[in-house]
Amino acid sequence: MLHIGCHLSSSRGFAAMGRQALELGADTFQFFTRNPRGSRARELDTADAAALTALLQAHQFAPILAHAPYTLNLCSAEAQTRAFARETMADDLRRMEFLPGQYYNFHPGSHVGQGMEAGIAFIAEALNALLTPDQSTTVLLETMAGKGSEVGGRFEELREILSRVTLREKVGICLDTCHVSDAGYDIAGDLDGVLSEFDRVVGLSHLKAVHLNDSKNPLESHKDRHACIGEGTLGLEALVRVVRHPALQALPFCLETPNELPGYAKEIALLRSLSE
Ligand code: FE
Ligand code: FE
Ligand code: ZN
């Protein structure tokens, strides 16, 4: 069975997102841990977190994804910016333990002219400082479009980070269909080829989640502009092949398409009907 959901606003709290997901026909979802651009997190309501955990179990949800603010940069050239990213992620990971066993997804970062190797080294070092043996959260690095000096546009870059992480079982990859296409991987034209390349370079066992998005831009455009399902350069058929692919069957798929809730409900229903 397809596990699918969408990005939801966390403004009404944890359990409210779970109920919202059920109304949309979802059995997973994603939310920002705090304002995507800012730093402040709402006060943690542990009873609300427990209520969501109960709902997820009662309705057999796939793992859900918490998304780090996308302005965090673990490999900034500024020591202060790196430290801020690390502190924010440490705080997020502490909070995530009130939602045990879920995923925490982040953008690896931008090396801003220091070079890919320097960026990779900072990211791996930060992960080694952040991860703890007893955490229940799996931290996911997102595949990126390779915009500017972004780290994570090439599978080799992600593998290099993973290979330097000591607590390997605490990290994984989230593949974003818009981003990989924008990065130059022809997921629409050659899904099998892209997945075998991922398997060869990173290993499919490390792939834990998929962001299912169409793209406003062509292959290798390095842009990162999401389109609604079937309205972009990937197209509906290609995205249906993704949700039906045997190697991806068990993963949570999360829509980050430019939709309001009714649009998400429609895409979820459409993809469920075409996934059988
Ligand atoms: Fe993202
Ligand atoms: Fe994404
Ligand atoms: Zn994106």
The CA-based angle 255-252-188, given to 5 degrees, is: 60
Active site residue 87: no
Active site residue 256: yes
Q: Tell me: the pLDDT tens digits for 35-74?
A: 877 677 888 999 999 999 999 999 999 999 999 999 999 9
Q: Tell me: the pLDDT tens digits for 133-177?
A: 999 999 999 999 999 999 999 999 999 999 999 999 999 999 999
Long-range CB contacts for residues 83-87, cutoff 8 Å, separation at least 24:
84/39, 85/109, 85/126, 86/126, 86/129, 86/130
Give exposure, 87-124, as e/b (b: 16+ Cβ within 10 Å).
ebbeebbebbebbeebbbbbbbbbbbeeebeebbbbbb
Q: Tell me: the pLDDT tens digits for 74-121?
A: 999 999 999 999 999 999 999 999 999 999 999 999 999 999 999 999
Nearest ligand (C-alpha, residue 67): 1
User: What's 121's domain CATH number?
Assistant: 3.20.20.150
Neighbours of 166 (CB within 10 A): 11
Cβ-contact 45, 13 below 8 angstroms? yes
Q: What three-state secondary structure class fits 8?
A: coil
Active site residue 179: yes
Alpha-carbon gap, residue 19 to 15, rounded angstroms: 6
Selecting among 7, 160, 179, 185, the annotated active-site residue is: 179
pTM: 0.98
- Token pair for 10: 């966390």
Strands (E), the chain: 3-7, 29-32, 65-67, 103-106, 109-110, 138-142, 150-151, 171-176, 207-212, 214-215, 226-227, 252-255
Domain extent at residue 222: 3-274
Active site residue 226: yes
Please state whether beta strands 150-151 and 207-212 pair in parallel, antiparallel, or not at all (unpaired): unpaired
Active site residue 59: no
Alpha-carbon gap, residue 97 to 136, rounded angstroms: 7
Selecting among 95, 211, 214, 264, the annotated active-site residue is: 211
Name the DSSP letter for residue 136: -
Q: Return all residues near 183 (Cβ < 8 A) that are at least 6 apart.
A: 143, 144, 145, 146, 153, 154, 220, 222
Q: What three-state secondary structure class fits 114?
A: coil
Q: Tell me: the pLDDT tens digits for 14-35?
A: 999 999 999 999 999 999 999 8
What's the total number of domains in the chain? 1
Selecting among 142, 150, 182, 267, the annotated active-site residue is: 142
- Which chain residues have CB less than 5 Å from ligand 1, an ion? 142
